[in-house]
Amino acid sequence: MKYTPFFAIVLSAIIAISPIQTAYSQYSSVKTFFSGELQSVAKKITGDPSTWPMVIAEAHRYESSNQFYLSTTAYSRLLRFAEQHKKVQAAREKMNELIKTGAVLFAELELKDAKTGLSNYHLALQKGAYDDALANGKNFVQQVSDVESTLNRNRLEAISAKLEEKIGKVHKREGLLGSWLMASEGDFFEESDGVKTYDNSSATLAFVDGSYVFVEAASTAIVRKARLDKLNQAVKTDISLINGNLLAKLSRKAQDAGGFHLSTQSSDIVVQSGKFWASSVQSGSRISNYDGLLKVRAGRVEISLKKNEGTVVLKGKPPLPPVELLPAPRLKWAGLDTVYFGSNFLIEWNPLQNTETYQIEISDTRNFGRVIRRYNTPKLSYEVRNLTDAMLFIRIHGLDRYGLRGIDSQTYRLLRSPDTEPPYLRLTSHRIQNGVIYTLKNEIQIEGETESGAALYHEGKTVAVDQNGRFSLALPIAREKQMLALEAKDQAGNRQNLTLEVVKFNLERIGTIRTNATLRQNTLFVSNMPLQIYGKAYPYQKIMISYGKSDYEVNSDADGNWAIAIQDYEQAGLTISILSPDDGVPVTIKSFSVKKT
C-alpha cells in the first residue's frame, strides 16, 4: 500500500507559510485588540483560532481599557510559533492517516508516544507556555515520523483487534471456554474472545482497518470472527452483542467492503454504514443507523435502514418498519467552544419533540474514543461537577419512546480557563480614607462593583450581584467603630477581600476651636492679622469658613486637626461649619463677630 511521505507533507506546510515580510504587513491589524477579538487575532496570526492562549500569553493587557497589546517582539515570537503549529497540524493529519492504516496495532508504542506528545503540545498551548510548545511540537513531528517507520516495518503481522481504551472495570475472556479475567489496555482480541463491561465502565476495541467498536456500560460482546485479507487489507469482522449497547464507527474501507456483521439475540445486521448503534436486551434489540446502509434481518424478514433511521426488533418478531431518528440537540452556546471556570459547569440545550430522555457524553478526545462521563436526564440542563481537565468535548443525543438513540449533536469543546487573577472589588458609594468610612448615620447603604459573574459574601452570607457586577447592601451601625468585611469569589475560585473600618461620628467630640484673637461674648477681638483659627474634627472632614465676603474650605488631617489663617481684616461675621461625611450637610455650626482692638 502506498503512503504519502510524511516529510513531504511537513515541507508543503512550511512552503504554504506566508513570507515574514507579508506577515509583518498585518501587524498593525493585530497590534491592539479587545478580549472579544482574541480568537480572530489568533486566526490572523497562526491560521487557527484555537491558539488564542498563546496569543494572550504573549500580549500585554491594559487593565484600564481591557485592551491587549502585542509588541513587535511578541509578534515575531508568535510568527515563529505559527510555523511550528502548522507543522504540528500536518503531523496530526498524518498520524490520523497512519491510524486508519494500522498504526494502532503495528506501531503501538510509537503511536502512544506520539499521542502523548500531541497532548503535551496541546497542554503547553493551553497554558501559553511558548518554549514548551515549540519543544513539544518539534518532538511530536519526529514521533509521527517514527510511527510511520515502525508501521511500514511491521504491517505484515496480522492482529485482529486491540483493547485501545478502557474506563473502569473491564473483563476479557479468551475463547468460548475461558474464564472472565481483568483486561488491560493493549490486550489483543482474537476469534471467540469476549469483552465485558460493568456499571460506569466502558471499552474501546480497535480493528486493523481503522474501525472502532465502543462497548458501553453493563455490556457483553464476543468477537466471533476477525480476519485480515493481506492482499487488499480488507477485514471481515463478526461481532455478537450478547447484552447491553455498542456504538461502532467503521473506516471507509470497511464500509465499502461490507465485511462487518453484527448479531444480537433477536436480529442479524449486515453493515455498510460508517456509524451505527445497537442495543440488545432479553426482550429484543434496537438499532440506529447514522450513515450509509444497514440490513437488519429477523427470521425471514429483512429491512434496510437508511441514514438516520432506526428500528426495534422484539424477540421472535420481524423488525418494525424504519422510523426517523430524533434530530441532534443544540447546546445554548454562541459557538462550538466555550470556557469554564472552577470545577462545575451547567450544560443547557434546546428541547426536542418526542424525546423521553437526553444523554450527555463527555470525552477527553474529539472522536469520543474515551467517553469518560455519561449522564441521562429528562430535563433540558445538567450541571457537571468536579471537572479538572484543561479541555473536554461534549455531545448530546436524545432517546425516543422506543429507546432508539438519536443523532449526535455537534461536538462542543469545553476549555478550562487558566484564570489566576482575583476579581476586582471596590466601593462606589462612600469616600474611603486610609481604610476608614466615616458616617453620622445609624445605617449606611454600601454600594460597589465586582467582576461580572463573581459571588460576593458579607459575614458568610451571600450578597446579590447583578449581571454587571454591581451590588448593594444595608449595613447597620451598632457602635462607634466596627469592621466591614467583603469577599468576592470568581468562577475560577480566585478570591478578593476588602476589609474596612466604619466609624460613627460623636458630635460631642468635635467643634472645639482656638484662635490668636481674644474671645469675649461670642466676639473675636483681633489686634493683628492674620487671624489664625485652629480646630478639632474627625479625620479627613471638610470644614467651611465664611468671613465677610469670602468663603474658605479646609480639610482636617489624619488626626482630625485643621487650621486656617485669614489675611485680610473685615469687621464682619465669621461662621465655621463642619460638614457631614455622608451628604455634605453642616452638622456643627459656630458663628462669631470679628472686631479690631
Quick one: 89 exposed, middle or buried, by C-beta within 10 A (0-12, 13-18, 19+)?
Answer: middle
- Which of 12-16, 263-267, 287-291 comes out lowest in average pLDDT? 12-16
The answer to whether residue 63 scores a pLDDT higher than 90 is: no
- Percent of residues, the chain, with pLDDT higher than 70: 92
Number of C-beta neighbours around residue 573 at 10 A: 12
- Find all residues with CB under 8 Å of 318, minimum gap 6, and list them: 298, 299, 300, 301
- Find all residues with CB under 8 Å of 476, minimum gap 6, and list them: 442, 443
Cell 503481522 sits at which residue? 157
DSSP letter, residue 101: I
530: preceding bond cis by omega (within 30 degrees): yes
- pLDDT of 390 reads 74
Q: Express each pLDDT in 470-512 by its tens digit.
A: 999 999 998 889 999 999 998 777 899 999 999 988 888 788 8
Q: Which residue, among 441, 444, 447, has the nearest Cα to 427 in the 3D structure?
A: 447
Distances (CA, A) of 300 to 101, 281, 317: 37, 21, 10
CATH architecture group of domain 425-504: Sandwich (2.60)
* Average pLDDT for the chain: 87
End-to-end CA distance of the chain: 119
- Which of 173-177, 230-234, 412-416, 437-441 comes out lowest in average pLDDT? 230-234
Distance CA 209, CA 255 (A): 10
Q: Which residue, among 459, 453, 462, 449, has the nearest Cα to 482 in the 3D structure?
A: 459
The CATH number of 507-596 is 2.60.40.10
Backbone angles phi, psi at 150, to 5 degrees: -65, -40
Residue range 272-282: mean pLDDT, rounded: 94
Q: Which stretches of 409-549 are assigned E, i.e. beta strand?
A: 412-416, 425-427, 436-439, 443-450, 455-458, 461-463, 470-476, 481-489, 495-504, 513-515, 518-520, 523-526, 531-536, 542-547
Residue range 556-585: mean pLDDT, rounded: 90
* Cα torsion angle, 70, 71, 74, 78, sign: positive
Q: Which residue, among 206, 187, 195, 204, has the nearest Cα to 171 in the 3D structure?
A: 195
Distance CA 337, CA 50 (A): 9
- pLDDT of 253 reads 82
Q: Express each pLDDT in 318-375 by its tens digit.
A: 999 999 999 999 999 878 888 877 677 889 999 999 999 999 999 988 888 778 889 9
- HEC readout, 508-529: HHCCCEEECCEEECCEEEECCC
Grid coordinates representing 316? Answer: 421472535
The answer to whether residue 18 scores a pLDDT higher than 50 is: no
- pLDDT of 159 reads 53
SS3 of 595, please?
strand
Q: Determine contact, residues 261/227, Cβ cutoff 8 Å.
A: no
Q: Which has more confidence, 521 or 240?
A: 240
Residue range 71-79: mean pLDDT, rounded: 88
- pLDDT of 24 reads 52
Residue range 522-543: mean pLDDT, rounded: 90
Q: Which has more confidence, 344 or 394?
A: 394
Distance CA 52, CA 58 (A): 10
The answer to whether residue 529 scores a pLDDT higher than 50 is: yes
SS3 of 112, please?
helix
Q: Which residue, among 532, 533, 526, 481, has the nearest Cα to 511 in the 3D structure?
A: 533
Distances (CA, A) of 62 to 52, 67, 420, 423, 436: 17, 5, 17, 16, 29
Distances (CA, A) of 290 to 31, 310, 319, 333: 46, 9, 18, 24
Quick one: 302 exposed, middle or buried, by C-beta within 10 A (0-12, 13-18, 19+)?
Answer: middle
Q: Which residue, among 61, 77, 39, has the nearest Cα to 338 in the 3D structure?
A: 39
Q: At what angle do helices 72-98 and 130-154 cross, to 10 degrees?
A: 20
Give per-residue burial for 46-76: e unless 16+ CB within 10 Å, then b.
bebbbbbbbbbbbbeeeeeeeebebeeebbb
Give the HSE-up count for residue 502: Cα atoms under 13 Å, Cβ half-sphere: 20
- pLDDT of 187 reads 93
Q: Express each pLDDT in 22-44 by its tens digit.
A: 455 567 666 788 878 888 888 88
* Rg, C-alpha atoms of the chain: 37
| H-only helix segments in 32-107 | 38-46, 52-58, 72-98, 104-106
SS3 of 87, please?
helix
Quick one: 478 exposed, middle or buried, by C-beta within 10 A (0-12, 13-18, 19+)?
Answer: exposed
The answer to whether residue 121 scores a pLDDT higher than 80 is: yes
pLDDT band at residue 229, thresholds of 50, 70 and 90?
low
- pLDDT of 421 reads 80
DSSP letter, residue 122: H
The pTM of this model reads: 0.51
Distance CA 477, CA 430 (A): 15
Number of C-beta neighbours around residue 179 at 10 A: 9
Distance CA 17, CA 45 (A): 11
The answer to whether residue 11 scores a pLDDT higher than 60 is: no
Residue range 55-84: mean pLDDT, rounded: 87
- pLDDT of 26 reads 67
- Which of 173-177, 335-339, 538-542 comes out lowest in average pLDDT? 335-339
DSSP string, 238-288: EEEEEEEEEEEE--HHHHHHT-EEEE-SS-EEEEEEEEEEEEEETTEEEEE
Distance CA 32, CA 37 (A): 10
pLDDT band at residue 231, thresholds of 50, 70 and 90?
very low
Grid coordinates representing 556? Answer: 482636617
The answer to whether residue 271 scores a pLDDT higher than 70 is: yes
Residue range 578-593: mean pLDDT, rounded: 89
- Which of 304-308, 309-313, 540-544 comes out lowest in average pLDDT? 540-544
pLDDT band at residue 16, thresholds of 50, 70 and 90?
very low
Q: Which has more confidence, 235 or 402?
A: 402
Fold classification of 161-324 is Jelly Rolls (2.60.120)
Q: Which has more confidence, 229 or 269?
A: 269
- pLDDT of 7 reads 43
Distance CA 225, CA 191 (A): 5
Residue range 436-465: mean pLDDT, rounded: 91
The answer to whether residue 4 scores a pLDDT higher than 90 is: no
pLDDT band at residue 14, thresholds of 50, 70 and 90?
very low
Q: Express each pLDDT in 142-164 by its tens digit.
A: 999 999 998 877 764 445 789 99
